[in-house]
Amino acid sequence: MKVSLITPIDIKYSYRGTEYWVYEAAKYLMNRGIDAEVLVTETGSRKALNSKAAREFAEVPSRIIKSSRLNLPMNFKITTYKGLPEDSILYFPYSIYDYAINIARKPSNQKWIIGSHSMHLKHGHIIKGHRWLELALNAMMKSVIRKDNLFFHVVNTDQEHYLARLGVREERIFRIPLFIDVKGFMAKPATGQKLKVIHLGGVEKNAEAVSRIISTLIELGQIGKFEFYLIGKQPESIVQNATMLKQGSINIFPSISEAEKRAMMSNMDVMLLPAVENFPKSMLEGLACGLYIIAGEMNPAFSEVLKRGAFGASSKNESEYIKSLQSALEMKRNGKLNKYKKSNLKAAEFYDRKAVMPLIEKMFGRVSGA
């Protein structure tokens, strides 16, 4: 069995996410005696060939392939590739729509796996674009999506149900979550009177919602009960509030090392996740630090994490975020937050690298023998 995995098209923010996943999966397969390689798209080759992930996994064979982008209405894009190998199982990290043209042209005897890392859904429909564009793309895809040599790797049940409605058979869908190395994180007991809240990713992860939460707490005169630790580039509104308030209430770290971030997380109480994400790695890191998770409604994997025994709260709007933070503060003061930390640490074990990687190997093995 030979496996070729494609790196993400835009890797600017993908080291912690999909790009890293591709390289680590390739390395794991290699260590298991499987012939694996990483294909780097020509459009991103200058960055990708010298990216942090590429340097960290230098032992993984990689080469450049040609690609181009086709722009559709509503900023929707489809990518086409040239020079794809025909003697291996091809793994693509984005949703079916990103590869629609290549899927239609693919050799009928070659196995393809579409990993839906970027297929965001809202109420059962693709978030990007309007409904008519989704219907048009689905009409195009239905002629090829049910072919026997096409398989899918989804990361949450929403994606699985969406593909099933398009007619994809159950045995061709593999639901495998993302993973982290749990042993690289640690948790400390919740101490002190203030609730320590962390948000990762800055403006790329909806820091605007965090800004509104902070502004409301200031208006309510409650900001002094909280300490916010914000990693990444922040909107100007947060910077202004941090300047206005006394030191400690809002702590901004535009750039921070991985070791510093992990040490900081170990001392937190709560992680805020307001961004639209399929399966955020930061959520798993929060679990591995025992943090109480407060996630937005557009985080479909959060409900699955709760089913694993984790504790947290889902919030639809600013008012609900405030209530969830106030509730977490009360739990810290009455000692319940430490109990929840233990439950979240237990839930994190399900997403440990050692637990998930064998599932990835099994997926490629089943596809190879199908």
* CA gap 118, 121 in Å, rounded: 9
Can you read off the two tokens belonging to residue 177?
Answer: 């979550």
Residue 219: Cβ-neighbour burial (10 angstroms; 0-12, 13-18, 19+) = exposed
Please list, in sequence order, all residues whose beta carbon lies within 8 angstroms of the beta carbon of residue 314, skipping any fewer than 6 positions away: 294, 295, 296, 297, 299, 302, 303
* CA gap 141, 97 in Å, rounded: 8
Please list, in sequence order, all residues whose beta carbon lies within 8 angstroms of the beta carbon of residue 118, skipping any fewer than 6 positions away: 18, 93, 94, 95, 98, 278
Where would I find the beta strands (DSSP E) of 61-110?
A: 62-72, 76-82, 89-92
Can you read off the two tokens belonging to residue 229?
Answer: 């630790």
For the entire predicted model, the pTM comes to 0.90
Question: What pLDDT does residue 69 have?
Answer: 77
- The size of the chain, in residues, is 370
Alpha helices in the chain (DSSP H): 18-31, 45-48, 52-56, 100-105, 131-141, 157-165, 207-219, 236-244, 258-265, 281-288, 301-307, 318-333, 336-348, 353-369
Domains of the chain from N-terminus onward: 2-179+353-369 (3.40.50.2000), 182-351 (3.40.50.2000)
Question: What pLDDT does residue 149 have?
Answer: 86
Q: Which of 356, 361, 368, 199 shows the shortest CA–CA distance to 283?
A: 199
Q: Which of 178, 159, 357, 182 shows the shortest CA–CA distance to 287?
A: 182
> What does the pLDDT profile of the chain (370 residues) look like in tens digits?
999 999 876 555 455 578 889 999 999 999 999 999 999 876 655 555 667 778 888 999 988 888 877 777 766 677 788 888 888 999 998 877 777 777 777 767 789 999 988 788 877 788 766 677 778 777 777 777 777 888 999 999 999 998 998 888 999 999 999 999 999 999 999 888 999 999 999 998 999 999 999 999 999 999 999 999 999 999 999 988 888 876 679 999 998 998 999 999 999 999 999 998 889 999 999 999 999 999 998 888 999 999 999 999 999 899 999 999 999 999 999 999 999 999 999 999 999 999 999 999 999 999 998 7
Label the pairing between strands 76-82 and 62-72: antiparallel
CB 49 within 8 A of CB 56: no
CB 277 within 8 A of CB 13: no
Question: What pLDDT does residue 83 have?
Answer: 82
Can you read off the two tokens belonging to residue 336?
Answer: 């319940």
Question: What pLDDT does residue 290 have?
Answer: 96
